[in-house]
Structure 1
Amino acid sequence: MGAGSGTEEPTLPVASVARRLGVAPSTLRTWDRRYGLGPSRHTDGRHRRYGSSDIGRLELMQRALLSGASTAEAARYALEQMPRSGPPQPEERAEPREAGAVDDGHEVRSRLARRLSTAALAMDVGAVQRMLADTIAELGVLPAWTGVIEPVLSALGARWRGASAGAEVEYLLAECVFAALVRATPVLDEPRNTRPVLLGCVPEERDTMPMYALAASLAGRRVGAQLFGVPLPAEVLAVAVRRSAPAAVVLWAHRRGVADTRLFARVSRGRQRSRLFACGPGWDPAGLPDKVELLTDLPSAADRIEHVLVGGRR
C-alpha cells in the first residue's frame, strides 16, 4: 500500500509491476524515461509507485507490442487511450510555438495518421472505428482519405506485404475503412442530378476502396451515384450501364496492367450516351479514346463530376 490513509488507492513498486507484466524492472524504467509511462505516485521516501491507471497504460502498451507495434508506437497508443493528467511527458512534449501560431494541415494529418496507425497495430477495433469517424468528421471524406486513410493503408500494406504474420493488421483496417466510408455516405432522397453517375472498377482491379470514398464525397454534395464496389466482368458492366442509363460512367484503375481502354467502347454502345471518365493512376493518358476524360485524383474527380452533372456546388 502507498503511504497515507487506508482509503488511498493501492499502489505497487516497480519490482511488483515488473513481475506482473513479465518484464525486467530496467525495462519499466526505460519506458518511464523515454515515453513517460512511469509511476505517478511518490511515498514519503520519494520511492515512486504505480497506481492502477499507470498499470493500465502499461498493459495497453504491452498488448500493442504483442500485436506487432514498435515500442514507440505502443507507448503512443497507450497514452492516447489513457492520457495522463499534468504536464506533457518526455516524448509528448511539444516544441514551443510563437504566439498566435497554429497547427498547419500537414501537422493535423500527420497526427491523425499516427493515431490511426497505432490503433490498427494494436488491433483495437473500437479505437480504429472511432479514429476513422473522428478523422472523416474533422477533415471531410476526401481530405481524410487522401491525407490520412490511404497513406496509412499503403504504409501498413508495404510493411507487411509478403509476410505471413502482420497482414491481419492491414485487413482489419481495410474492413473498418470500408464500414466508415459506407456510414459516411448519406442516402439521398432528392439528388441534384436526375440521372446517376455510375462508379465502377475495371475487371481484375483489387484496389476498389477509392470508389467508396468518391461515392461518399459525391453523396455529401447531393450528387447521386450508383456504385459497383466489386469489379464486374466487362459484359456485366456493359449491361449495367445500359439498364441504369447513367449521366456519366467513371471507371477506376489503380494498376496499369488491368486498365484496358477497350472497356469504354463496350459500355458506350446503345442509344443513351453517357460522359466517360477514366479515373486513377492505372490509365495511360496517351491511350485513352478522345471521348474519355482522365481524372487524375479523387478530389479533382469529385469536382469535375459535380460540374458536369449539376454545374458546380451550391
Structure 2
Amino acid sequence: MTPPEPTAAPSDGARETVAAEDDPAHSVTLSVAAVARRLGVAPATLRTWDRRYGLGPSDHTTGRHRKYAPHDVARLELMQRALLRGASSAEAAKYALATPVPHPRLVRKTVAPVLTGGEFDTGSPPAGGRGLKLPGASRLARGVGRAALAMDSAAVQVLLADSIAQDGVIATWDDVVRPVLAAIAARWEHSGAGVEVSHLLDECVLAAMVRATPIVAEPRNHRPVLLACMPEERHNLPLYPLAAVLAERGIGIRQLGAALPLDALASAVRRTAPAAVVLWAQLPRYADPGAVTALPRTRQQVRVFVGGPGWERGVVPSPAERINGLAEAADAIERAVC
C-alpha cells in the first residue's frame, strides 16, 4: 500500500480549531429540546434561564440553533437541584453560576453537590408546589414535592435525610412527608394523575425511615412490640416512622409488614409473647374489630393498639386502644411496655 503524502503542518488557527473539537466540553452537545427532556422542564424555561440569568449554551457557533455542552448541562442541573431545595430562581441561578462544575468528561458520572439546609433561607419562600397544593407548607416540604414531581428520587432522599438529621423523625413525618403525601393524593383525586409520583415518594420515605432506624441490641422492654397491618391492608408506610421512633427510644420491635393473614398474626403473637401489638388500618374496610378480638390470649398481658384513618369512625373493641398521631403513638407504647 502506498503511504499517504505528507501534509503541511496546521496553522495556528487550525490548531485552535482542532483543540476546540478535541475539547470534551464541545465533544457532545445537546439541543434545547434534548436538555429540556433531560431536566424535565419546558424549553421555554431554559430560554428564560438563559435570557435572565446567563445560564444558556456556551456554543457560539453561527446559526440560530445553539447547542448545550456538557458543562452547560451540569450548571443547569445545579440550578434545578437548588430549585428542588426551595431556592428562588434568582438564588438558584446565583448558586449554579458560582459553583465549580466537574470536568466535562466526568459530568455524566458526577453527582451534583448537596446543598446545606440553610443555604437558601431568605425570608420570602418561593411559590410552592409546582402542581401540588401545599398551602402553609414548609420550604422543605415544597422542595420534596417538587423533587417527587420531577421523579428525582435522589433529591427526595437527600431532603428527607437532611430533615431527619436536623429535626428528627417525628417532625419530618408530620411536617414534611404527610403534607406532600396528602397533596399528591388530592392531585390524583382531582386529575387521576400522579400514581407513579406517589409510589416513588413512598419508596423514598420507606428507605429514609429504615436508614433512621437503629438496631436495638439491648432493648428496654423485655418483650417485643409487634407492628403489623390489619389483614388485607397493604398500606404499611406509617409503621416505618413509628418503628424508627421506638427504636431511637431503645424499644425492641418486630415489623410484620403489610397484609399479614390473621392466622399468621395469631401465630406471631403466640410465638413472641409480645408486650404490645400495633395494628394499622388505612382504609375503613380493613378496620375489622373481629380480627382484633380474635388475637390469641397469652399468659402475660398484651396491650393492643389500633391506628390509622380506617379506625376513625369504626368500633375499637375493648381492651384495644386507639392511637392517632406518631408522637402520641410512640409515647403510649413506650409507657405501656417500659
Decide: shared fold, TM above 0.5.
yes
1:309 aligns with 2:331: no
Local SS of the residue matching 2:223: coil
Q: How many pairs align?
A: 275
Work out whether residues 306 and 322 of structure 2, in 8 Å CA contact, stay in contact via their aligned partners in 1.
yes
**3-state SS of paired residue (2:240):** helix
Q: Distance in 2 between matches of 1:74 and 1:133?
A: 13
Structure 1, gaps ≥5 residues long: 1-8, 42-49, 65-71, 87-91, 97-105
TM-score between both structures, scaled by the size of structure 1: 0.70
Percent of pairs identical after alignment? 46
2:74 equivalent in structure 1:
56
Distance 1:190 1:32, change over 3 A: same
Aligned to 1:111: 139
Rounded to whole Å, the distance in 1 between the matches of 2:223 and 2:232 is: 27
1:169 and 2:187 are equivalent in the alignment: no
Structure label with greater radius of gyration: 2
1:99 is aligned to none
**Alignment match, 1:253:** 281
- The alignment status of 1:272 with 2:300, answered yes or no, reads yes
What is the alpha-carbon distance in structure 2 between the residues aligned to residue 157 and residue 243 of structure 1? 38
2:184 to 151, 156, 166: 156
SS of aligned partner of 1:128: helix
Within 5 Å, which residues of 2 pair with 1:218-229? 218-229=246-257
3-state secondary structure, aligned to 2:304: strand
Report SS of the residue matched to 2:257. Answer: coil
Per the TM alignment, residue 114 of structure 1 is displaced from its structure 2 partner at its CA by: 1.5
d(CA) in 1 for partners of 2:225 and 2:313? 22
More displaced 10-residue stretch of structure 1: 111-120 or 186-195: 111-120
Q: Displacement of 1:115 after TM fit?
A: 1.6
- The residue correspondences of 1:163-242 to structure 2 (distance < 5 A) are 166-242=194-270
Bigger CA drift: 168-177 or 106-115? 106-115
1: distance between equivalents of 2:93 and 2:210? 26
Tell me if structure 2 keeps the 8 A contact 1:202–1:252: yes
Question: Is contact 2:224–2:274 with CA below 8 Å preserved after alignment?
Answer: yes
What do residues 272-306 of structure 1 show as CA deviations (whole Å, max 9, x unaligned)? 32011111221156722231111112110001111
Q: Is the 8 A contact 1:61 1:77 kept in 2?
A: no
Counterpart among 95, 101, 104 of residue 83 in structure 1: 95
8 Å CA contact 1:200, 1:251 repeated in 2:
yes
Q: Which amino acid aligns with 1:275?
A: R
User: Is the CA contact (8 Å cut-off) linking 2:170 and 2:326 kept in structure 1?
Assistant: yes
Change (3 A) 1:17 1:58: farther
Q: Displacement of 1:129 after TM fit?
A: 2.0
Q: Which structure 2 residue ranges, 5 or more long, are not aligned? A: 1-22, 59-67, 99-119, 125-133
